[in-house]
Structure 1
Amino acid sequence: MKVEFAPLSIPWRRRAQTAAVSQWVFSFLALAQCCCGIFIILLLGDYWFISVFYVLWLYLDWETPQTGGRRSEWVRNWTVWKYFKEYFPIQLIKTSDLDPSKNYLFGFHPHGVLVAGAFGNVCTEYTGFKELFPGMTPYLHTLPFWFRCPFFREYILCAGLVSASKKSVSHVLSNKKGGNIAVIVIGGARESLDARPGSLTLNILKKKGFIEIALKHGAELVPVFSFGENELFKQIANPKGSRLRALQESLRKLVGFTLPLFHGRGIFQYSFGLMPYRKPINTVVGEPITVKQNLNPTLEEIDQLHEKYLQELQKLFDSNKEKYGIPEHESLTFD
């Protein structure tokens, strides 16, 4: 394979963008493991008391990821996130105003491989979320597993991430003053296994928990589609029924998440590596679906609202797809 190296004449700003994304990829793939390793090294070494005190801190702070988190505006405004946003670039598009006296549940689609669009729009302050939706505070929900990783949990809490547990989502949506947005990447780990260029398959037909919780809290549902999310990486073929897919599904059922065998470009060359391709991500926020509070919804009521959500998601996709390079004849596939 011929390797295409990046020219030496690349402007410093583009190099800064590449560096910003490379540290994000490292954080996503390896930082948690490194943090756990540091914890063990400290525990077994002369500075064992640091780990002991941290365990005490964990005990006292265990519920924070389920009670709104602990975001840091300083971390969310790091300059590195500005270059992260510019790398792709990421753009947030509003189609309707939101009422800050209400709470909302954003269904984010698709998952992609590393959820770059959700992170860039919700966990940093450089795509204009506050300006587009004044008075609103978004919370990106992720697997509870990550909040069990020492030190790493503090980092993601500062970025505004919170647990994806029902208790956590309920806490966000129960704000009586309104102004909260629970952002849930609906497809989850299973959908990431289909994340490849050109894929329009969403894992959603059996995902109804977010519908039920929206009904119980009377939170308005908002479909969000991130065009370009699946274009960032290529993935080793893993069709359903293959041994690789079966192994990936087994891992997902065992630990709650899985990782696609993906590849993109490198830091200093364009032929191979774990860096995403420079493809634009256009995240379009749809119109709210009015939800009447129902503390004890029936299965029929959940199914009806779920069907309404699918219709609005399809409508959002169809009305925007040609703007972002998807042919008119292409349509979403709900799995």
Structure 2
Amino acid sequence: MVRRTVEGSRGSVVTGEEREPTPETVVVKANGRSGDPVAGGDDAVGVPIALTVFLCLVALYCRSTVSLWIMGFLLLLTFGPVSDKSKYGRAIGSFVGRYSPGHFHVNVHFEDVKAFDDSKSYVIAAEPHSIFPVGAVSLLNITGLMPLTKSKVLASTAIFCTPFLRQVTTWMGLVPATRKNFVNYLKAGYSCIVIPGGVQEIIYMSKDYEVVYLKKRHGFVRVAIETGSPLVPVFCFGQNKAFNWWKPGGKLYVHLSRAMRFAPLVFWGVLGSPIPYRSPIHVVVGKPMEVKQNPNPSTEEVAELHAQFLSNVETLFSKYKDATGNAGTELMIL
């Protein structure tokens, strides 16, 4: 457990709804606005899932011909080609990115916003995953909240097997979380936003404390060293409140989840739907950790940087939990 209390914090703050310039703040504007009736970008997750469920239910109750057409349509969306270069797709992705931060009241706290150089590629490691990593996705360049113009989120491959959600997330800038994608995008000049703990954190997720599964996650650190990309620690407060959820407990659930590499659970939002609640989310972006490039880093070299990263995550949590309204929250690092 991490139990530290730091009164106050002096990081720069960028908000999805409004921007107030200060001597230490770079002014960044997002178009999402609180109370905007069309600010529904957050539904990029809920609406596609709800629509898929609805069509499946319609297929079950309709005549065989209609059912076949619906199932064929869903299969086409699941396995058909989808391009992040699509003109109309990118317009949809930009719309989602523009309005999501305002709806969620996303606040991005920068330890040192001036430390970022848009000509560099960063490994931005955000924690925790929660049911859906809203905070990590809010750091994409399409939202305008980060001082970077090229970025990608590395996401679970399960997302890209879900109709509608696959299309929307691709157009927003999410890509399958593979080592090949990770390395290639960094070399191509993109900053990569990763959630090292991944869906494994859902297994241990609790409403009483925050959980990060990092002690055995060294791959993202190794890639940062191999490519010489600065490593940026990020902690997201408030994601657990975006949904209500229930999952079984016990060792059997843990073993099954590990075997499936997926943590089954029941979650719901507004009126019992998959649409998330409008809950404030605070994303704390730490100072970039400079990394000396080494194409073949030793285990000791990786372990040393990994330990520094863990320490920085703990520090971000302890320093900002009071300022973000999470004074009574504890952090468990597994």
TM-score, normalization: structure 1? 0.72
Tell whether 2:176 aligns with 1:170: no
Match of residue 243, structure 2, among 226, 233, 240 = 233
What residue number does 2:127 align with?
Answer: 109
What residue number does 2:226 align with?
Answer: 216
Query: Structure 1's 311 and 20: CA in aligned 2 closer, same or farther, altered over 3 A?
Result: closer
- Which one-letter code corresponds to 2:92 in the other structure? V
Query: Structure 1's 240 and 262: CA in aligned 2 closer, same or farther, altered over 3 A?
Result: same
Equivalent-residue separation in structure 2 for 1:293 and 1:98 (angstroms): 18
What residue number does 1:322 align with?
Answer: 322
Equivalent-residue separation in structure 2 for 1:83 and 1:103 (angstroms): 25
Equivalent-residue separation in structure 2 for 1:114 and 1:201 (angstroms): 14
Q: Deviations over 1:89-135 (max 9, x none)?
A: 2122322231123211011111111222223332742xx32xx414x
Query: Structure 1's 33 and 207: CA in aligned 2 closer, same or farther, altered over 3 A?
Result: farther
- Which one-letter code corresponds to 2:266 in the other structure? L
Q: Deviations over 1:14-52 (max 9, x none)?
A: 7655x65456313256649969x99xx89966xx89x89
Match of residue 133, structure 1, among 147, 154, 157 = 147
The alpha carbon displacement at 1:83 in A equals 4.6
What residue number does 1:261 align with?
Answer: 266
Tell whether 2:328 aligns with 1:333: no
Structure 2 unmatched runs, 5+:
1-33, 60-64
Tell whether 2:39 aligns with 1:25: no
Match of residue 213, structure 2, among 203, 207, 218 = 203
What residue number does 2:173 align with?
Answer: 160
Query: Aligned residues, how many?
Result: 292
TM-score, normalization: structure 2? 0.73
SS of structure 1 residue aligned to 2:139: helix
Equivalent-residue separation in structure 2 for 1:113 and 1:259 (angstroms): 11
- How do 1:240-279 residues align onto structure 2 when only pairs under 5 Å count? 240-241=250-251, 243=252, 245-246=253-254, 249-254=255-260, 256-266=261-271, 272-279=272-279
Query: Structure 1's 154 and 278: CA in aligned 2 closer, same or farther, altered over 3 A?
Result: closer
Query: Structure 1's 108 and 23: CA in aligned 2 closer, same or farther, altered over 3 A?
Result: closer
Identity of paired residues, percent?
Answer: 25
- Which one-letter code corresponds to 1:262 in the other structure? F
The alpha carbon displacement at 1:206 in A equals 0.6
SS of structure 2 residue aligned to 1:282: strand
SS of structure 2 residue aligned to 1:311: helix
Aligned Cα RMSD in Å?
3.8
Query: Does structure 1 retain, via aligned residues, the 8 Å contact 2:46–2:273?
Result: no
- Which one-letter code corresponds to 2:278 in the other structure? R
- Which one-letter code corresponds to 1:334 in the other structure? I
What residue number does 2:26 align with?
Answer: none
What residue number does 1:297 align with?
Answer: 297
